[in-house]
Structure 1
Amino acid sequence: MSEGQKTRTMVDIYGQQYVIIGTEDSRHVKLIASMVDEKMREISSKNPSLDMSKLAVLTAVNAVNDYLKMKEQLERLEGELKRVKD
């Protein structure tokens, strides 16, 4: 796919159909949707009384938390690598 060309990908997240439009490869979009679906189902199984809005927010909070932890770990590793190279 050429850079900037957008694709439409149909995904299912927590029983809802979504069309995701973007420049990412369709397989990548489906993988992300699958991971979001899995996380929502995991959170829902531990908190079955959550409505969809709260479940979505908690899923987003978990995803951003995971992202920040990985970003901090990457920064630490990059710092260690720089020290080793110097």
Structure 2
Amino acid sequence: MSDENKRRTSVGIYGQQYIIIGTESNEHIRRVAASVDEKMRQISAKNPALDISKLAVLTAVNAVNDYIKLKEQYDLLESEFKKLKD
């Protein structure tokens, strides 16, 4: 994809400003950033002694865990749907 199709979106995550460059809409990028910020704040509230690096890794682990669970649910539903179609 060419650079001309990419957008630059400024977002704040956990008190830091970032420029995200990608093809998704600015609204989508802001929703993603808000979700990351919220998750970081939730984890930090439960573990206030975590440094920023460990907080970021735990946030990533939580996000991927959520993704895997949703993917497994999706795959199961897709499999059940295919059985109904046959």
Which TM-score band applies after superposition, normalised by the shorter structure? over 0.9
Structure-1 separation of matches of 2:38 and 2:45:
11
Aligned partners of 1:7, 1:83: CA distance in 2, in Å?
A: 41
Gaps of 5+ in 2: none
Deviation track 1:34-59 (CA, whole Å, cap 9, x = no partner) reads 00000000000000000000000000
1:19-58 matched pairs, under 5 angstroms = 19-58=19-58
When the two structures are superposed, what TM-score results if normalisation uses the length of structure 1? 0.95
Structure 1 runs of 4+ with >6 Å offset: none
* Number of matched pairs: 83
Counterpart in the other structure of 1:75 = 75
Give the share of equivalent positions with the same residue, in percent: 66
Q: TM-score, normalised by structure 2?
A: 0.95
RMSD: 0.8
Question: Any idea what SS the aligned residue of 1:50 has?
Answer: coil
Q: Which letter maps to 1:12?
A: G
